[in-house]
Amino acid sequence: MSNSAITTFENSTRGVPAGGEEFFQLGMMYSTGSAVPADMVTAHKWFNIAAMNGVKDAVRLRHEIAAEMSDAEIAAAQRAARDWLKTRH
């Protein structure tokens, strides 16, 4: 998925029901640097949203990457998830 396709997906999910699996895949892309630069804060955000949508693997992977993040990075990821959820509804 190209960067523009990812941005389009992220923007298209605002106000539209999306499944947890799509959010999980975004978390995977950002955590591994697949098609986008690796970004653990953004990966944590998407894993968090995926976990809220019932994806059990997202809970595990969010926990794994959080172990490598600072408290400030985790807080930033949590804020980003909350902000994204606010704009989605």
The yes-or-no verdict on residue 15 having pLDDT over 70 is no
Instruction: Render pLDDT for 48-61 as a digit per residue (tens, 0 to 9).
Output: 999 999 999 999 99
The yes-or-no verdict on residue 13 having pLDDT over 90 is no
Report the C-alpha gap between 69 and 64 in whole angstroms.
Answer: 9
Q: Is the pTM of this model over 0.85?
A: no
- Average pLDDT over the chain reads 87
Instruction: Render pLDDT for 20-69 as a digit per residue (tens, 0 to 9).
Output: 899 999 999 999 999 899 999 999 999 999 999 999 999 999 999 999 99
What lies within 8 Å, CB to CB, of 21 at 6+ separation is: 50, 55
For residue 25, give both structure tokens. 């895949």
The whole-number pLDDT of residue 69 equals: 98
Contact indicator for 26, 46 with CB cutoff of 8 Å: yes
For residue 64, give both structure tokens. 């794994």
